[in-house]
Amino acid sequence: MEPFLNEEQLAIRDLARTIAQEKVKPVRARYDEESIFPWDIVEELAKVDLFRVFIPSAYDGLVESGLGVTNMCLATEELSKACAGIALAFAGTALGTFPILLYGTEEQKKKYLPQIASGRRLAAFGLTEPMAGSDASAQRTTARRVGSEYVLNGTKVFITNGGEADIYTTVALTNPEKGARGASCLIIEKGTPGFSFGKKETKMGIHASVTRELIFEDARVPRENLLGREGMGFIVAMKTFDVSRPGVAAQALGIAEGALEEALRYAHQRHQFGQSILNFQGLQWMLADMATQIEAARALIYTLAARVDAGDTKDIGHLSAMAKLYASDVAMKVTTDAVQILGGYGYMTDYPVEKMMRDAKITQIYEGTNQIQRNVIGSWLAKEGARLAR
């Protein structure tokens, strides 16, 4: 019995689970070791229509109403149970697509969403710059309006799916004098003259995901690629994070679930002092905490995702921040404890828990660090406090 999910969502979860277990698990260690981008897995996901689960039916997707955030979370969770890096080709595409889903015109949606739904073209989201990390308002990339085009100059860093994706929703300053209020979000296609890819990062974890610079040198983008209105770029980014952060939370949840499974399997089989180490209360208590935290994270994510899918996206910033904050801290704790439960073997690459521990770390950092999530929750609480005191 699954209290949160309907039949269709259960079917999506099972489909993603099958691919994760049958296709992702066997290759995850090699893809991690050799930093291989998982194009073959992308093809498998496309074959079973998993890129359609967050796209409305009007644009070749499967979503009848709302944003399909629950579907996106379920697929991300299942894929991340097997490999969080491979899962990111999917989840990063959802992140890059949300600005179009939220702010795209009919023409933009008709043009781009069916391509993404088919899995033929991946998406990415370009906000971060060398001087604009947590302070995303410190953008330097400019998009100067010249006739019927925007001319972009600047560099984005740390962009997931960079170089592999075809569609980049990107924030740039159309009115630099206005600072964050002068930022706009544009759709930029790979192959645009003046748009190239720079440094590919070498990372602690999620090696099967590519993290790369986007470089704009007089890159010309048609004006019709503007999302929303000029000056709305920062709002587009923040509203995107409201609905994409549950996806990072789901990735973290998947990593934690995968690690708990490995720890349980190992603890059952491993014998010390003449018995299974799973009999030791010291380990059972650790496992009890891990399992409890996972269930709490799941409840937080699924209820939030259901709320978003029901169309309630107005005042959810603090809830998205809570889901991402809590689930990623759980993932870090659970994977660290899983390594501990496997002892010396947990530290070795022969077992997947050391990779899970490395992968978990990123969920505390991207789409806003956990300090920033606490700031979001804190400022919501400050407003609540003022309201209660009135």
Ligand X SMILES: Cc1cc2nc3c(=O)[nH]c(=O)nc-3n(C[C@H](O)[C@H](O)[C@H](O)COP(=O)(O)OP(=O)(O)OC[C@H]3O[C@@H](n4cnc5c(N)ncnc54)[C@H](O)[C@@H]3O)c2cc1C
Enzyme catalytic residues: 367
Smallest separation (angstroms) from ligand X to the CB of 106: 26
Of 237 and 339, CB closest to ligand X:
237
Q: Which stretch binds ligand X (CB under 6 A): 16-24, 143-151, 313-321, 366-374?
A: 366-374
Q: Does residue 160 belong to the site contacting ligand X (CB under 6 A)? A: yes
Smallest separation (angstroms) from ligand X to the CB of 54: 16
Cβ distance 66 to 131 under 8 Å? no
Closest among 59, 41, 61 to 51, alpha carbons compared: 61
CB under 8 A, 24+ apart: contacts of 9-17: 9/70, 9/71, 9/74, 12/50, 12/53, 12/71, 12/74, 12/75, 13/74, 13/75, 13/77, 13/78, 15/48, 15/50, 15/75, 16/50, 16/74, 16/75, 16/77, 16/78, 16/79, 17/78, 17/81
- Site residues (CB under 6 A) for ligand X, limited to 110-129: 124-128
Of 58 and 138, CB closest to ligand X:
138
Among 31, 366, 373, 376, binds ligand X (CB under 6 A): 366
Of 23 and 28, CB closest to ligand X:
28
Cβ distance 258 to 352 under 8 Å? yes
Among 159, 319, 321, 338, binds ligand X (CB under 6 A): 159
Smallest separation (angstroms) from ligand X to the CB of 326: 16
Q: Are strands 211-222 and 195-200 parallel, antiparallel or unpaired?
A: antiparallel
Among 371, 378, 379, 381, binds ligand X (CB under 6 A): 371
Q: Number of residues in contact with ligand X, rule: CB under 6 A?
A: 22
Of 280 and 380, CB closest to ligand X:
380
Q: Which stretch binds ligand X (CB under 6 A): 4-12, 55-63, 103-111, 367-375?
A: 367-375
Of 78 and 213, CB closest to ligand X:
213
- Site residues (CB under 6 A) for ligand X, limited to 213-272: none
Assign 197 to helix, strand or coil: strand
Among 48, 264, 291, 365, binds ligand X (CB under 6 A): 365
Structure tokens given for 8: 């269709």
Among 108, 114, 133, 231, binds ligand X (CB under 6 A): 133
CB under 8 A, 24+ apart: contacts of 127-131: 127/156, 127/170, 127/171, 127/237, 128/156, 128/157, 128/158, 128/159, 129/154, 129/155, 129/156, 129/157, 130/155, 130/157
Q: Closest-CB residue for ligand X? A: 133
Of 337 and 367, CB closest to ligand X:
367
Detail the DSSP E strand segments found in the chain: 123-126, 142-146, 149-160, 167-173, 183-189, 195-200, 211-222, 226-227, 271-272, 275-276
- The torsion defined by the Cα of 195, 46, 205 and 94, in degrees rounded to 10, comes to 60
Among 362, 363, 373, 376, binds ligand X (CB under 6 A): 362
Of 104 and 368, CB closest to ligand X:
368
Q: Which stretch binds ligand X (CB under 6 A): 181-189, 351-359, 363-371, 381-389?
A: 363-371
In angstroms, rounded to a whole number, what is the distance separating the alpha carbons of residues 213 and 151? Answer: 18
Q: Does residue 211 belong to the site contacting ligand X (CB under 6 A)? A: yes
Binding footprint of ligand X on the chain (CB under 6 A): 92, 124-128, 133-134, 158-160, 203, 211, 362, 365-369, 371-372, 375
